[in-house]
Copies of this chain bind each other. A is one copy, B any other.
Amino acid sequence: QIDSARLWGTIHETAKFGATPKGGVRRLTLGPEDKQVRDWFRNACEAAGLEVHVDALGSMFGVRKGRDMSKPPVGLGSHLDTQPTGGKYDGVLGTLAALEVVRTLNDAGIETETPICVCNWTNEEGSRFAPAMMASAAYVGDFTTDDILSRRDAEGVTVAQALDSIGYRGDRPVGTQKFSGFVELHIEQGPILEAENKTIGVVDSGQGVLWYDGKITGFESHAGSTPMPLRRDALATLSEIVLAMEAIAKKHGPKAVGTIGEAVIANPSRNVIPGEIAFTVDCRSADAAIMDALDRDLRAAIAEIAARRKVEVQFDLIWRKPPTHFDPKLVDAVENAAKMLGYSHRRITSGAGHDACNLNTVMPAAMVFVPCKDGISHNELEDATQPDCAAGANVLMHTVLALAGV
């Protein structure tokens, strides 16, 4: 059994790095608050006897020796970056629970057969730089390190510059820390476990993701003197696209979602008809055929709207992550650990993306979910209970022990 109070303490101690007045956390990847929590985490890992190294994209790895150092370690962990208005648990729970597992094994004097490796993956959230789960995507070869290093945030800062500015561009080439498998604990970020009163979600699958960048070019014109029929209004165009996206996701529901989270009017003015808008789209389904249908329907709707409104819409797919099917053996290992510990549990699909989804494409991976209040995440009000967090950490520990061997 892990130390529930100690785990809870670290979650609340690190929540001060980027704490918001509403009780949430704003810790954008590779920003100054991220540096603070990374420094804290490195010290804590070293104090727990781990050998810490950092890769070229800033992902942090803390290795605990095993009896057989010829075998790659079992990986466990998550991420410490947050959304602009994020909560205290998303990513943090999984990373600090991994540290807590090591501390517990140390206290109990338990040695494992293979080494284990605590991970903090860079830019899981994807709000400052696209795509989400950026570093693990590069780890599995979906993108080259150079491609990722050159990506820019909204201010034009590259990943390379951001890494250098906080001193976290490591010397290890991406992908060189090998693993025999990876287990990630996370809050569910959805309402199912809470509704069914289950403590543990045994995650067997994850939704696929489509990310698009869009740009509408209409025509700026005077709000007072331009007759309604002559307008080529970029915001009215966007409005139709937003509602079409919503209707399409509902049509393919319940196994589909679609969101427009960003939309920026160029040179906005109260008495000017918007002439240009940049926007982004996030569509998901656990079913690859539905993902294809979402893409098709959305493109058709946008083409119709653009033609009718006589505006130009550029619409580019910038990321496609297929649905995830976690390794059956590892999923069973998670389920066995939950059973053994006597926690109520159910199989579940992840609505969110996770580094484990990327890693699963090159190694056996699995995930453990615990409930979060009202299913709320990506919100400063995100909440979870101490017993549920501890239960998740215990399942994580026993899954890792089963994989690493005692």
Contact = CB atoms under 8 A, between A and B. Distances in A.
A191 B230 contact: yes
A83 interface: yes
Interface in A191-246: 191, 207, 209, 211, 219-230, 233, 235-236, 238-240, 242-243, 246
A180 to B, nearest CB: 28
A406 interface: no
A229 to B, nearest CB: 8
A176 interface: no
Contact of A375 (B211, B226, B269): B226
B224 A379 contact: no
Nearest to A273: B259
A271 interface: yes
Contacts of A257: 223-224, 226-228
Interface residues of A, number: 72
Contacts of A240: 239, 243
Interface stretch (A65-73, A290-298, A327-335, A348-356): A348-356
Contact of A189 (B222, B238, B243, B377): B222
A270 B128 CA distance: 9
A122 interface: no
A211 B263 CA distance: 22
Interface in A242-264: 242-243, 246, 249-250, 253-254, 256-264
B228 A249 contact: yes
Interface stretch (A33-41, A46-54, A274-282): A274-282
B242 A235 contact: yes
Contact of A239 (B239, B256, B265, B378): B239
Given A85-B220, A376-B221, A243 B239 contact: yes
16 contacts: A83-B269, A85-B275, A125-B269, A126-B270, A127-B269, A127-B271, A209-B224, A220-B379, A222-B377, A224-B352, A225-B375, A225-B377, A228-B256, A228-B257, A235-B260, A261-B270
Given A229-B253, A233-B246, 11 more contacts: A83-B272, A188-B225, A207-B224, A220-B380, A221-B376, A222-B352, A223-B257, A225-B375, A225-B377, A228-B254, A262-B269
Question: 3 tightest CB-CB pairs across the interface, nearest first?
Answer: A225-B351, A239-B239, A223-B259
